[in-house]
Amino acid sequence: MSAGTAVAPPDEITAALWWRDNAGAAPEPAMRKAEELLSGTGDAELRVLARHIAALAAVERGKVRQAQRQARLGLAAANRTGQPERAAQLRLTLAWIEMERGATSASWAQLVAAEPSLPAADQTRAACLRGLLHCQSDQHHEAIAELSRALRSLSAGDDRRWRANALLGRGLANLYTNRLAAAEADLAAAERVFASDGRTARAAGCLHNRGCVAFRAGDLPRALRLFEEAVAAGLDVESNPEALVDRAEALAAAGLRGEARAAMEHAADRLAACGRAGRLAETRLALAGCALRDGDAAAAAEAAGSARQLFRAQRRPAWAALATAIAWQAKLRGGQCSRYAFGAARRAAAACEEAGWIGPAAELRLIAGRSAARAGMHALSRKLFALCVPLRDELSGPPQHRALGWLAEALLADQDGDVDRVFAACRGGLQAVDGQAAGMAAFELRVHALGLAGELGDIAVGAALRTGDPRLVLRWTERSRCSALHRRVLRPPTDSRLNSALVRLRAAVLEAQGSRDPKRALASIAELEEQVRHRAMLVRGRTSGLRAPGGIDDVIAELGDSVLLSLFSHDDRLFAVSIVDGDVRLHVLGPEANAEGHAGRLRHLLARQAVGTAPSAAPVFEMSARREAEELQAQLLAPVLPALERGRPLVVIPTGRLHVLPWAALPACRGRSVTVSPSLRCWLRGASDSRSADRAGAQVWIAGPGLEHAEREVEGLHAVAGGRLLVGTEAISERVLSTVDGAAIVHIAAHGRFRDDQPLLSCVDLADGPLYAYDLDRLHRGPTTVVLSACDVGRSVVSRGDQLSGLATTLLGRGTATVIASVVPVPDERTAGVMTSLHRALRAGRPAAAALAEAQAEHGETGFVCLGYGGGR
């Protein structure tokens, strides 16, 4: 201190030290205090302390560059005025700041320079920071040891801030070494300490990191809820953009890859703006994973390679190993197939596993093993699969790890030709996947979580096909088909924020119809739609599985004189199992692409006919549609055509894009009772639900706005059948939902929209705006029979494993036995007549599928299908 510098009274120094030690709990007031000290005092020590306060406050606010500048100014002033202790303390803070920036080497240098001059009270803090740096450098075991020693020392004093930091660091180290229970305990303890000290942002950060623990444990719903709760508790994601990356990875795992990519790109921009370019590597790696899920192997390889270079520059070997594994996953999926590629992939997987990334290592080995098998390198393939098999027995591990282990065992058994082992492995894998889905109340999460079920089922079906046993093939096609629909939420979602978001979305859609700024209105709707999707994923609850099919004999008994055709694909070929008069047979139907091509062209031609064509072109469209229908019939219905020609009803279980085929357009199906069901399990459940339904239950007739014939249609039906009539301002969402819950028959005549991009936002229009599939998922019990006199809403999006999502499948999932809806546009002028004839036949006691067939044949229509259960034996 220079001779001419005034000495501040001790109480001012004490006050400044208090602000320094509490800057994290109140960063805004602390920054104001620092500015006050810098503008109002000439005391050297107070000015150094003011810089230190400002640096700590800026760190807490996520302004790393500002924090670094203030700390450096304070360090220069401390060195200039001969304050070695204050200089060492500032170096300790600078070490923290450099760690936040991802500059590990610079952080170590500041720490080493600080330690000789640190007072005794700060030595334990330095040890704590050493542990955090070990964690940052991927030396997680060293981090746990160092932080555990620091915690034993800190517990004797009253340094709660550093104790919380040590618990946070050890929790993250435990996370990265897959000690998930210990990680949860440490992070929860750190959260409590931060919260009790008023450091709400840090406490919220711990809550967010607990979400990361849940994500690694495979509990995606809990992870998403914790991420959401962290933001509500005060986590500022704009100042802590790395939190956006974690949440985006969870969104990508949930199937929201577009939203995930947008969030990651925003995080990258924010990291650069906040001076945290060192954290960009994680963002690029997350983008690589997202691209890999999207099937964009080239983009994934490029992003992962860029991330690997950054991690290596930051001396973070564990993260570099993960980036290398993701890069090789992308390269192998992109077609690289050489001994060099397989050798590099093996080494990358081993390094990835050693660094604690168990799941990505197994995924790489499985991809490499399958590629090697296709290349004829069976010995190498077996070695790679065998390295994954032990995961099946890790009962404490995440379910998806066990499923990967069972998948590897199934692939090994398949190579050995051991059918019984294949089936046992696939059963084990399906149980693991199903166990993970049990806690997912959100249907959209179940659809994506059960994607691996399709892969396991496909291996089992391949083995069953080799046996030639049609009963065995049918059992295995059913085991994994539409498995998301085979679980039902015990109680429907009752999330008030989801309900509120749906109300706001409906209002925004209505407002947009008269908006003078359509672009802004559409942007508002898109934002609200995203809120609805996110809130829907956060709903709590467990699901119960539907009863498994009782066996082929039960199916035969339920069929009676009906004909069953269960379609499935394997290795791009289409197969079918038929049941006619109890005789179960297996059929090869040819290329899947051929059938899907004809089905797509047929749907297009029927849609063009529905909207109208020039009189001169009408015969051409009609002839083309007839030709496509005949081609489809020749491929799909040949095994059961003789039975259909004898007048037998048809029950069909489609696959892939054939789920949206208008079956009545096929010549043999015109006027024929045809039931289309997602799976045999859904069909059997529908039969049971239909028989146990209250026959005296309510009949509800609903008309939406803007459809010329709607009110006339439902008023006419109501006049004949009675029941509840909801038209005009009576037909609003909440009233409709409360009225149709558990009803016997519900008929809705309204404009409808199917959303390929977001199927659960498919809707029918009511007086207060659209009624979405998300709304219908709130029903306690779906109506027994629902007739949707609305264009195209019978369609579903089909994902891996024939998982279906849409308006009609949501109703089936809530317990509706039968849904009658269109899968192609239907002319309004014909719809009313079809509906009148349909309900007349239903009142006469005709089964739903037969009633629909007769009504469509009478009016020359083919666009409606009977989904679920079509009627009695």
Do 458 and 357 lie in one domain? The reply is yes
Do 522 and 472 lie in one domain? The reply is no
One-character DSSP codes across 541-597:
--EEEPPPP--HHHHHHHHTT-EEEEEEEETTEEEEEEEETTEEEEEEEEEHHHHHH
- The arithmetic mean of pLDDT across residues 605-629, rounded, is 83
Do 59 and 109 lie in one domain? The reply is yes
Backbone angles phi and psi of 413, in degrees to 5: -65, -35
Using DSSP, state whether 614 is helix, strand or coil: coil
Least confident range from 283-292, 369-378, 421-430, 432-441: namely 432-441
Q: For the sheet with 745-749, list strands across it.
A: 583-591, 573-580, 563-570, 650-653, 674-676, 864-868, 818-822, 785-789, 745-749, 699-703, 724-726
Between 300 and 24, residue with greater pLDDT: 300
Residue 117 CA: distances (Å) to CA of 129, 157, 221: 16, 20, 49
| pLDDT at residue 353, as a whole number | 94
Please give the DSSP secondary-structure letter assigned to residue 274.
Answer: T
Q: Give the β-pairing of 803-805 and 818-822.
A: unpaired
CA distance 362 to 343: 15
Q: The tokens of 840 are what?
A: 């007349």
| Cα–chain center distance at 812 | 21
Q: Is residue 789 part of a domain?
A: yes
CA distance 460 to 251: 30
| pLDDT at residue 10, as a whole number | 62
**215, 227 Cβ separation under 8 angstroms:** no
Please give the DSSP secondary-structure letter assigned to residue 9.
Answer: P
| pLDDT at residue 524, as a whole number | 93
Do 132 and 99 lie in one domain? The reply is yes
One-character DSSP codes across 174-186:
HHHTT-HHHHHHH
Residue 102 CA: distances (Å) to CA of 111, 463, 690: 15, 51, 62
Do 16 and 49 lie in one domain? The reply is yes
| pLDDT at residue 1, as a whole number | 36
Residues in CB range of 604: below 8 A, 6 or more apart: none
Q: Is residue 130 part of a domain?
A: yes
Residues in CB range of 396: below 8 A, 6 or more apart: none
Domain end among 456, 480, 504: 480
Between 365 and 4, residue with greater pLDDT: 365
Enclosing domain of residue 442: 349-480
CA distance 67 to 53: 10
One-character DSSP codes across 359-373:
HHHHHHHHHHHHHHH
- The arithmetic mean of pLDDT across residues 135-146, rounded, is 89
- The arithmetic mean of pLDDT across residues 851-873, rounded, is 90
Whether residue 416 has pLDDT greater than 90: yes
- The arithmetic mean of pLDDT across residues 837-855, rounded, is 95
Least confident range from 1-10, 355-364, 366-375, 796-805: namely 1-10
Whether residue 453 has pLDDT greater than 80: yes
pLDDT classification of 95: cutoffs 50, 70, 90: very high
**856, 662 Cβ separation under 8 angstroms:** no
Do 181 and 88 lie in one domain? The reply is yes
Q: Is residue 667 part of a domain?
A: no
One-character DSSP codes across 137-199:
TT-HHHHHHHHHHHHHHHTTS--HHHHHHHHHHHHHHHHHTT-HHHHHHHHHHHHHHHHHTT-
For 23-32, letters b (16+ CB in 10 Å) and e give bbbbbeebbe
Do 428 and 357 lie in one domain? The reply is yes
| pLDDT at residue 493, as a whole number | 59
The total of structural domains in the chain comes to: 4
Do 685 and 756 lie in one domain? The reply is yes
CA distance 413 to 407: 10
CA distance 794 to 752: 10
| Cα–chain center distance at 323 | 22
Do 454 and 507 lie in one domain? The reply is no
Between 623 and 273, residue with greater pLDDT: 623
Q: Is residue 573 part of a domain?
A: no
| Cα–chain center distance at 772 | 19
**19, 31 Cβ separation under 8 angstroms:** no
Domain end among 454, 480, 506: 480
The closest of 228, 231, 140 to 186, measured between CA atoms, is 140
CA distance 171 to 178: 10
The closest of 684, 707, 711, 696 to 765, measured between CA atoms, is 707
pLDDT classification of 873: cutoffs 50, 70, 90: very low
**797, 761 Cβ separation under 8 angstroms:** no
CA distance 798 to 564: 21
**429, 483 Cβ separation under 8 angstroms:** no
| pLDDT at residue 137, as a whole number | 82
Q: Is residue 165 part of a domain?
A: yes
| pLDDT at residue 82, as a whole number | 92
CA distance 627 to 128: 76
Q: How many CB atoms lie within 10 A of CB 240?
A: 21
| pLDDT at residue 211, as a whole number | 96
- The arithmetic mean of pLDDT across residues 588-597, rounded, is 95
CA distance 538 to 642: 51
One-character DSSP codes across 822-836:
ESS---HHHHHHHHH
Whether residue 2 has pLDDT greater than 50: no
CA angle (838, 844, 845) in 5-degree steps = 95
Least confident range from 181-185, 342-346, 590-594, 681-685: namely 681-685
Q: Is residue 610 part of a domain?
A: no
pLDDT classification of 488: cutoffs 50, 70, 90: confident
Please give the DSSP secondary-structure letter assigned to residue 607.
Answer: H
> Would you put residue 397 in left (φ > 0), alpha (ψ -120 to 50) or beta?
beta
Do 24 and 106 lie in one domain? The reply is yes
Q: What is the pTM of this model?
A: 0.83
Do 450 and 524 lie in one domain? The reply is no
Amino acid at position 505, single letter: L
Do 169 and 32 lie in one domain? The reply is yes
Cα separation of the two ends of the chain: 99
**342, 371 Cβ separation under 8 angstroms:** yes
CA distance 162 to 126: 10
Least confident range from 314-323, 466-475, 604-613, 724-733: namely 604-613
Which CATH number fits the domain that encloses residue 180?
1.25.40.10
pLDDT classification of 492: cutoffs 50, 70, 90: low
pLDDT classification of 3: cutoffs 50, 70, 90: very low
| pLDDT at residue 155, as a whole number | 61
| pLDDT at residue 331, as a whole number | 96
pLDDT classification of 454: cutoffs 50, 70, 90: confident
| pLDDT at residue 277, as a whole number | 67
Q: Is residue 116 part of a domain?
A: yes
pLDDT in tens, 512-543: 988 888 889 999 999 999 889 888 888 877 77
CA distance 765 to 732: 9
Q: Is residue 2 part of a domain?
A: no
Summary mean pLDDT of the chain: 89
**330, 288 Cβ separation under 8 angstroms:** yes
Q: How many CB atoms lie within 10 A of CB 679?
A: 24
Amino acid at position 521, single letter: A
Q: The tokens of 391 are what?
A: 């995961």
Share of the chain above pLDDT 90, in %: 59
| pLDDT at residue 545, as a whole number | 66
- The arithmetic mean of pLDDT across residues 406-419, rounded, is 96
The closest of 202, 21, 5 to 125, measured between CA atoms, is 21
